[in-house]
Amino acid sequence: MDAMQNRNAELKKCPFCGNAIVEYGAYIPAGSNVQYFMCYCVLCGAHGPQSIKKNSKEDAARLWNRRGGH
């Protein structure tokens, strides 16, 4: 198991606390067999919107970056 923190360079740092370590989390709706992703801050727990497309980390990243950046 890799102990290194997995920094996703394509994700902007957290807009709330400034932490640069942002991870992807999977979200599986109840009764569903598809999953969606969202990005979340490992430090303060803030998370972005869940992806609109199924199984799309890119979509989650796009939404996170849009929310976090100006």
Contact residues for Zn ion, defined by CB under 5 A: 14, 16-17, 19, 41, 43-44, 46
CB nearer Zn ion, residue 44 or residue 52: 44
* Token reading at 61: 């990243």
Residue 1 beta carbon to Zn ion: minimum distance, rounded to whole angstroms? 24
Encode 35-70: b = buried (16+ Cβ within 10 Å), e = exposed.
ebbbbbbbeeebbbebbeeeebbebbbbbbbeebee
Residue 42 beta carbon to Zn ion: minimum distance, rounded to whole angstroms? 8
Residue 41 beta carbon to Zn ion: minimum distance, rounded to whole angstroms? 3
CB nearer Zn ion, residue 38 or residue 46: 46
Q: What distance in Å separates the CA atoms of residue 47 and residue 25, rounded to the nearest whole number?
A: 9
